[in-house]
Structure 1
Amino acid sequence: MPTRSELGARGEGIAAAYLTDAGLRLLDRNWRCRDGELDIVAREGDALVFCEVKTRRGTGYGHPVEAVTPAKQRRLRTLAQRWLAAHDEHAPDLRFDVVGVLVRPAAPALVMHLRGAFS
């Protein structure tokens, strides 16, 4: 049974592959600053996409995407501002996506990608 951090890293890898396959270009993964961490920063066309990845083994506590609470959304907005201040990357559109990864023992992971999950 993987630890929580191993499960999270596995989910982020699955999410990164899913997003790349969907045509997004990854710019950053696991970017950290004093306020926290952004899981994935990507570009899709004219949009910069700040993507939060949530991974779970089951739905006993709800689907993984449900874990992105209003407080987490506020923190992600702050982290996006910090990332933009630290990088020379510009785009007319900014978007916040959530990718939920449900890791199942004897089956492929299920991925749910919510584009523009919040603003």
Structure 2
Amino acid sequence: MDRRSQGKDAETAAANYLESEGVRILERNFNCRAGEIDLIGHDGDSLAFIEVRARRADALVDGAASVDERKRRKLIRAARFYLHRHGLDNCFCRFDMIAVTITPEQPYGFEWITNAFDATP
């Protein structure tokens, strides 16, 4: 399986996992000029912008550690665009990450990090 297919499958598995945890997925792969947001969902009173990172269990860097400052800035800009486009300028939102570990024994392991980073300068 190529990386793109593997990533798409991991993203679908992450969305299913989050839904089983009570998150209502609103959008997948939201794209704008500022960037892409993998998943957007409601979790309780929060709107969560969720970055999905899939890595094999033997990878040198785990998925959560692979989101650098540049990627965070792109996610924040895309989220601001999404909020403005939908008239949600005053809603409570957060940035989550879900690290998907791919192992031969079981298809996926999940590490869901809520409030992984914030948008304050």
The letter for the 2-side match of 1:83 is Y
Contact 2:35 2:77 in 1 (8 A): no
Equivalent residue runs for 1:63-78 within 5 Å: 63-78=62-77
Please state how far the C-alpha of 1:36 moved relative to its aligned partner: 1.8
Aligned residue in 1 for 2:26: 27
Contact 1:46 1:91 in 2 (8 A): no
Aligned residue in 2 for 1:82: 81
Match of 2:16, SS state, is helix
Counterpart check, 1:100 vs 2:99: yes
Please state how far the C-alpha of 1:35 moved relative to its aligned partner: 2.1
Contact 1:24 1:42 in 2 (8 A): yes
Contact 1:97 1:117 in 2 (8 A): yes
Give runs of ≥4 in structure 1 deviating > 4 Å: 88-91
Which structure 1 residue ranges, 5 or more long, are not aligned?
none
Give the structure-1-normalised TM-score: 0.91
Contact 2:100 2:111 in 1 (8 A): yes
Q: Distance in 2 between matches of 1:62 and 1:93?
A: 31
The letter for the 1-side match of 2:21 is A
Q: Distance in 2 between matches of 1:21 and 1:8?
A: 20
Q: Distance in 2 between matches of 1:11 and 1:87?
A: 27
Give the superposed CA RMSD: 1.5
The letter for the 1-side match of 2:55 is R
Identity %: 34
Contact 1:7 1:56 in 2 (8 A): no
Q: Distance in 1 between matches of 2:73 and 2:60?
A: 22
What is the CA deviation profile of residues 59-89 of structure 1, one whole-angstrom value per residue up to 9, with x for unaligned ones?
Answer: 4321111111111111110010111122245
Counterpart check, 1:51 vs 2:50: yes
* Matched residues, number: 118
